[in-house]
Structure 1
Amino acid sequence: MTAMPIEANFSELIQKPKDTVARMQGSARRGIRLHRRDAEDLYLTTAARADEAVQVVDSTTRIFVAMMKSDPQATKILTHVFPEAFPWVRFLPEAAVREFLVEFVETARAAVDLDNVSLLAPVIAAWKSTALIHADKDLHRELTTPAGEDFGPVEPPEVPLRVSPKA
């Protein structure tokens, strides 16, 4: 079972920083979600905890890459077990699951090199959307059936030339 994150209002951190940080350190996740009224929530954790998360992604990615390079069967096995981590891949064709696996591992490796594991989120979201299309037979048919009349190439929009003011 996954531990629920501790939550607080951002103002609580400002008004009672020691108490709020103590709550964070006492939580299983060692982090706290800070709600803000006029902006996106923040997640507060220690630098060591954030570094550990990046190390886990890096280590796991390196294991997957090494497996995939050392034995062609590894990709087949990983493709077969991927639905345990991402249940929605069951709606993708097998070749697409393999493609997602490769893109996921390559992006994870690049994201760790850039010290920004959040770069994986758009890859997962895009493939999840693709699975959703495959799961909805009517939508899949509509998106993959030729539309009929082709109106020809589309000209790129004109982009006004921006001249920055001299300082």
Structure 2
Amino acid sequence: METKRFSYSAFLRGPSKILPSLDNSDVILERRDDEDLILMRAERFEAGTASLRIAARALAIVARRNVGLAEEVLAEELPWVTWLPDAERSECVRELLDHLIAGADTGELLPFGRALASWRSTAVVWSDPQLARELQGPFPGDGPEVPPPTSES
């Protein structure tokens, strides 16, 4: 599906010029000082939500019956999963699926997005063996004392 972009101010000045675009595309309203907004027809939104819910539940069923297959499927879509140690890979798959299913059911996908970003960062750390060793500790003491900031007048 095509996505068209318009400035938010153009929408405010003349919504009747932008709304017909929704017949065959979704619309992104770009804002300067805040997150962009997306306009779409309710039917497309509901179809996307229903599709996500079905796909998430189907993947969860696969994961319950065959964890290895679920890991393989996620590793295909998220290649960085292969950098995780085996135990963490299973935990990652379980946690991402839990968030995906809950998000598909409620429409709240931000926790899934946050978990995805967090696991991606964890995988990147594991991809560097030296960094992974350093971050596992032990950590020597509390580190050097940091002087309090000075106020500039």
Q: Same fold by TM-score, threshold 0.5 exceeded?
A: yes
- Of the candidates 23, 26, 38, which is equivalent to residue 25 of structure 1? 23
Separation in 2 of the partners of 1:118 and 1:48?
A: 22
Partner of 2:131: 139
CA deviations 1:88-134 (Å, max 9, x no partner) are 11211222222111111111222233331333101101101101111
* Structure 2 CA distance for aligned equivalents of residues 41 and 135 of structure 1: 33
Counterpart of 1:42 in structure 2 is 37
Amino acid in the other structure paired with 2:3: P
CA distance in structure 1 between the aligned counterparts of 2:137 and 2:2, rounded to whole angstroms:
44
Tell me which of 74, 85, 97 is aligned to 2:77: 85
Shift of 1:4: 6.1
For the aligned residue pairs, the C-alpha RMSD in angstroms reads: 2.0
Q: Where do 4+ consecutive residues of structure 1 move more than 4 Å?
A: none
1:108 aligns with 2:100: yes
Gaps of 5+ in 2: 144-153
Structure 1 position 26, deviation (Å): 2.5
* Preserved CA contact (<8 Å) 1:6 1:23: yes
- Note closer, same or farther for the CA distance 1:128–1:119 as it changes in structure 2 (3 Å cut): same
On the 8 A contact 1:54/1:117 being kept in 2, the answer is no
In structure 2, how many angstroms separate the alpha carbons of the residues matched to 1:110 and 1:125?
17
Distance, in Å, in 2 between the alignment partners of 1:84 and 1:100 is: 14
1:66 aligns with 2:41: no
Which range moved further: 124-133 or 100-109?
A: 100-109
TM-score of the pair, normalised by structure 2: 0.81
Q: Where does residue 8 of structure 2 map in the other structure?
A: 10
Mark the runs of 5 or more structure 1 residues left unpaired by the alignment: 152-167
Percent identity, aligned pairs only, is: 27
Report if aligned partners of 2:63, 2:69 keep a CA contact under 8 Å in 1. Answer: no
* 1:36-66 deviation per Cα after TM superposition (whole angstroms, max 9, x unaligned): 1221111111222222222112101211222
Moved more, 13-22 or 31-40: 13-22
Provide the rounded CA distance (Å) in 2 between the counterparts of 1:37 and 1:125. Answer: 25
Report deviation, 1:21: 1.9
2:6 match: secondary structure: strand
